[in-house]
């Protein structure tokens, strides 16, 4: 296996999991692997992280936020 084929595993403390069905749909936000809240938008991710004491400066920075099951623009279930 070459270095180029190794997946990037983010050291990010914030993880945003895939969209969950609901009214409205939401995504679970974890800090260090522990549930800290639900987000219905990118703004909610920022607020939940801030409440946990972790400011996010760039939602695209994989060292800050790890998006699982879709990127920051994915907020509807498939």
For residue range 40-54, list pLDDT tens digits in order: 999 999 999 999 999
Considering the entire predicted model, what is its pTM?
0.83
> Model confidence over 56-67: pLDDT tens digits?
999 999 999 999
Contact 66, 14 (CB under 8 A): yes
Whether the CB-CB separation of 25 and 78 falls below 8 Å is answered with no
| Mean pLDDT value across residues 19-32 | 95
pLDDT at 9 over 90: no
**CA angle, 57 as apex, 61 and 47 as ends, to 5°?**
110
Q: Where are the alpha helices (DSSP H) in the chain?
A: 42-51
Query: Which residue is listed with tokens 């909610």?
Result: 44
SS3 (DSSP) at 30: strand
Query: Could you tell me whether strands 26-31 and 34-39 are parallel, antiparallel, or unpaired per DSSP bridges?
Result: antiparallel
């Amino acid at each position: 296996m070459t270095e180029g084929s190794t997946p990037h595993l983010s050291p990010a403390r914030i993880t945003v999991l895939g969209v969950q069905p609901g009214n409205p749909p939401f995504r679970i936000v974890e800090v260090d692997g522990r549930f800290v809240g639900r987000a219905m938008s990118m703004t909610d991710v920022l607020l939940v992280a801030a409440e946990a004491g972790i400011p996010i400066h760039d939602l695209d920075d994989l060292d800050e936020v790890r998006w699982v099951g879709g990127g920051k623009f994915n907020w509807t279930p498939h």
